[in-house]
Structures are given as structure tokens and as C-alpha cells.
Amino acid sequence: MASRDLATAMVFLVETLAGILGNSSLLLHYLILYFTGCKFRLTDLILKHLTVANALVILSKGIPQTMAALGMKHFLDDTGCKLVFYVHRVSRDVSIGSTCLLSVFQAITISPTCSRWMGLKVKAPKYVASSTILCWILNMMLNVMVLVRVTGKWQNNNITRIKDYDYCSAMPRGKITDSLYIALLLFRDVVFVGLMLWASSFMVFILYRHKQQVQYIHALSHRSSPGSRATQSILVLVSTFVLLCSLSSILQFSLAFFSIHKLWLVKASTLIAGCFPAISPYILMSYDSRVPTHCLPLIIAAKSSVL
């Protein structure tokens, strides 16, 4: 095995282990909160779905990519490739949608109590569960084409212009179909990122105005309120997502329109796409004052593995 392939495998392995440990710790955190009777926030349900989606992203992409980098190219058959890619696409898109929902609902939560916002603040809790379920259903429907296009590598030796994903392959589409599909995904991502930026800007404005109004309270106490810490965590989460999503979109655009499908570009895209699911649980746990002492060993071990 070449040293470059071994180094690539180690990078994917570290990212995968860090992501699994982080998301497992966060799920354990919510499980302990449930059994201890702690009051849940409006956004906690979205965060649970986001954590599950991120864990699926890590498992469906990180583990196969690590195995492929170690030289195991044909460990998945046709059905396995379809299932792995479908789960990855659905969970990745759910992660994007959940992050957007998270920022929007948090913006509604901290909005001022006035007649213009009161209606949204009252109705928002009723739509959290249905919004997250709808996010899963829509993305499961939108990614059905993955089940048709993706196949095992061993079946496509005689097909030209096939896209090689190292351990699986994808059947080529027509240029018009490719362009329409990419345009649809790009439009969706632009809408979601636009909503996140709007919600983040609104939250920054609300936090700044609140800080100005209660400056005398902060002079007595250096600790932020739980609501402020939750908002700050979502702002950091959204900022991280927008940065990584922009880099991933650039690479995905390059993959879609390059005549030569370069494996290093596929690996770089996969590595960047896995960064957000691996990093996000640590961001959320570091800002959550409700993290119990039961989770501390897992959190410390997870941070040590990242470092």
C-alpha cells in the first residue's frame, strides 16, 4: 500500500471515529436529559434529528471511504452501493435542512415579544415535529434517483464516462439532465443558506440589542444566560456549516462538470463533506450548560481523539 493511500485512510479514520464518538456523546446527553426530567428547548428536537442525520453521514461515507483507502475496493455489491449512497445523500440533505430549521426556529424563539412576532412565537412549537419529519420525507423522495444511478464497480467495466467513487460507480446522465439536477440542488442550497444567513443576522442583532439593554446585569455576572449560550452555539454552528458547505459545493460543481473524474477530487469532497457532521456535536456540547457530568468522560475522550 502506498504511503499516500495510508495517510488518506488515517485521515478518514480519525474523522470517522471523532464523528461517531461526538454524535454518540450528544445523543447520550439528550437521553440523560430525558430520563432526568430536564425541560427541553424548542430546538432540541431539531438537534436530535440533526445528530442522527450527522451520525448516518459519518457511518455511510466515512467507513466505506476508509476501507477503500486501505485497498478494499470491492467490498460492496450493487445493492450495498445503492443503499450506502442513498443513506448518505438523504442524511446529508436532512443535515442541511435541519441546520436551516434550527437557525430559523431559534431566531423565532429569541424574537422580541411584540404583536408582530407573538403569533410566530406561539405557533412555532406546533410545527417543529412536523417540519423535521417533512424534511426526512422530502429528501427520501428527492434522492430516489440515487438508487437507479449508483452501481457496484465490478458491473461497469465496459461503460464509458462512468463516475468512479473509488468503491462504487455511478451511471452517466445526459448533459441536460445533469445540468437540471445540479441547478435544482444549487437552488435548494442557496435558499437554505440564504435563510440561515438571514436568521443568523437577525439573532446577532437581537443579542447585541439585548446586551446593550441589560449591560448592568452582565457587570454583576460574567456568565451568559442559557438562551444566549444556545443562540451563540447555533450561530457558530451555522457559520461553520456555511463555510464548509461553500467549499463542498465548489468541489461538487467541479465534479459534475469536469470531463475527467479525478479520484483526489472525490476524496477531498468527501473529507470536507464529513467535517461538519464530525465537528457539530462538539460545538453544541461546548455551549450547552445542561451537559451532565455523566457525559464528561465521553466528551473529554472525543476531544482528545480530535486533537
Q: What is the pLDDT along the chain (307 residues), one digit of tens a residue?
A: 567 778 888 888 899 999 999 999 888 888 887 787 777 777 888 999 999 999 999 998 888 888 887 877 777 888 888 899 999 999 999 999 999 998 888 888 887 776 566 777 788 888 888 999 999 999 999 888 888 888 776 655 555 556 767 777 777 666 677 677 777 777 888 888 888 888 888 888 887 776 666 555 544 444 455 567 777 888 888 888 888 877 877 777 676 665 545 667 777 877 888 888 999 888 888 877 665 544 444 444 444 544 4
Cα 97 from Cα 122, distance rounded (Å): 22
Q: What is the DSSP string of 235-290?
A: HHHHHHHHHHHHHHHHHHHHHHH-SS--HHHHHHHHHHHTHHHHHHHHHHHHH-TT
Domains and CATH numbers, the chain: 3-152+164-301 (1.20.1070.10)
| DSSP 3-state of 170 | strand
**Beta carbons of 107 and 37 less than 8 angstroms apart:** no
